[in-house]
Each structure stands twice: as C-alpha cells, then as structure tokens.
Structure 1
Amino acid sequence: MRMKSLVLLMFVIFLMGGMLGYLSAKVAPTGVAEGVMNTFGEKVKTIRFAPFSFWSVVLIFINNLTVALLMYILGITVVLPSLIVLLNGAVAGVVVAFAENKGISSALAILSMVPHGIFELSAFFISASYGTMLGVMFWKRVLGKDGELRSFVAKMPFYVAFTIALLLLAAFIEAFISPLIFTI
C-alpha cells in the first residue's frame, strides 16, 4: 500500500471514529459524552489552554507532537496508529454531540475544529501512515521478505519535519484563530 492510499485510509478511519463517537454520545449522553468530555476537560486543564496565548501554542504543540511521535514509534505494532486515529475521531464526534447538547449547532462545533484540524489531522494521518508503513516493512524484513526498509527509514527526517511544521501551524491556529469562530 502506498503512503497516499494509507493517508486516505486514516482519514476514513477518523471519520468512522467520529461517527461512532457522535452516535455513542447521542445514544448514551450521560455515560459516553460526559466521560469523554470530563477526560478532555482534564486534559485541557493539564495543558492550561487559554485562547490567544503563545503559551497555549507551545502546550498544544507539545501535546500534539507527543501523539504524532507515538504514532511513528507505535507503527511497529502496525495497528496502534490506526487505533489512535480512530480514538481521535471518536473524541471529535463526542465533542460535536456534547456541543449540540449544550445548544451549539453541530455545524458551528465542526467549523470551530476545521481551521486547525486541517493541519493537525494531516500531521496525524501522515504520522499514522508512515508509522504503519514502517511497521509493515519492519515485519516483512523480520520475516525474511524483501522490503525497502532502509530507503523508507531514510525518508523519516522529512516526514517528521513536515509533521512538526504542520503541528506548529495547527497549534498557532488553534490558539489564535479557532477561538474567534465562537465570537462571530
């Protein structure tokens, strides 16, 4: 499977997670939505997010970079990056359902995630895809099948640098632009 195909697959997995999270929160709002939102709320408190703050940019970036690097590293398992993408989609779906329950339209909830999400999710899909491909090539090599592991690993600095650039941009947008959507 090629990287482009795998990135597209990660996008589909994210959408599936989003639908599952949304539907779960709608079916059992007190259990699923509150549990995820409480966990999400604790995470936000941990990173001390404050809109329009450079400190928030740094904290968001570090949090997202940690997730992306985990997907690169956990690619050796082949399936864990996809699971992380699925769970991120589920959280996004729960956030949309939770917003609806609080009287915020789903369109506005989704719109508030789009500006930074374009870059953040692209970075996550690339990280998950590269990690997965790396895992597949590693296991092919272990099993004695010919693979291009060495040349693929040589491309890793480019992918990591690109991921970092996307996540920096996403963090800046999330801290300074996405909050403006709720002021419109």
Structure 2
Amino acid sequence: MITGDFVEDYENMVPFQALIAMGHQVDAVCPNKKAGDTIPTSIHDFEGDQTYSEKRGHNFALNATFDNVNLQDYDALYLPGGRAPEYLRLDARVLDYVKHFFTTNKPVAAICHGAQILTAAGVIEGKNVSAYPACKPEVELAGATYADIAVDSAVTDGQLVTAPAWPAHSEMLKQFVALF
C-alpha cells in the first residue's frame, strides 16, 4: 500500500486491517518516511453538499520503509484516496512502483482519488476505471473510460479494481482479493 499525508482515513485503515484479517501481509509505505513514522489522515464525508466535507482523522503508523521496498516481494498493490494522491503522483519512484505492478500483471486496486496516481503513471489507457467523480476528467484524459457507478460499487478490468469512494470497500476488497 502506497499512502501519504492526508490520505482518506477509511480508505487507508479499513482495507489495511481487512486484508491483514484475511491473512495477508500488508506493508504500508510512504515516500520519504520509514517504518514507525506516522501520517495524518483526513475523514471525507458525504453530507449533502456539492462535494465531500473534510475533517482531521487519525495518525496512521507506517509499518514498512518506502526506500527498502523490493517490488518482486509483493503480489499486489493498493492505492487509497484522499488528498495524498495529488502529491504522491509527483514522485517518480511512486510512478515506477505502480508501473511495475502493471507490467508484471499483478493485481492493483485504487479507490477515490487513488486514480490520480494511475493517470500520472500512464497505466490505464483503454481500461474501464472508477474514481471519485471529480477525477473523471483525468481518467478520460488518460485514455480510460470513466465507470460512473454507484458509490458502493467497484469495477474490475483485467488485474485492476477501482472504486469511487470508501462506501465501496466491501465490493472493492471482494473483487481485489479474487485476483490474488
């Protein structure tokens, strides 16, 4: 899991804990941080406004060091949303990590604004991709078809699972784990 400061709290913590509960090892990493460092999270809620509201979330402790990642050791990649993807996509190493999972045909899941990392990595052309609706222009500019699905749904295209927001956790995780 590649995560970062002000990631969406639920999109970070719920899949992290759920995958561990299913018996998977999950290494949460962030560029320029090491195991034991924490990242602040944000809680995004849907309260009837034109966009989501944002509140300060929890501190999340990273359990692995980004610079020590050996990509060959990993079977899948998860990209949570929130505000973190808008700056994580500017890190060439993050984009290289993402490209590795696509070129080796390993499962990748992204939720909400996590699609911003996929678009920056140039890996979704020709794919059917869901994301938070505000990311639709980026998804389409990257050559993908935007999947306008219910907020509690997810879509799988090959080895890629995407979802619009945290209410889709159950469906996204079900589809993601089926690819393992």
The reply to whether TM is greater than 0.5 is no
Question: As a proportion of its length, which structure holds more helix?
Answer: 1
TM normalised by structure 2 equals: 0.28
The structure, 1 or 2, with the larger RCO (C-alpha pairs under 8 Å, 6+ apart) is 1
Question: As a proportion of its length, which structure holds more strand?
Answer: 2
Larger Rg: 1
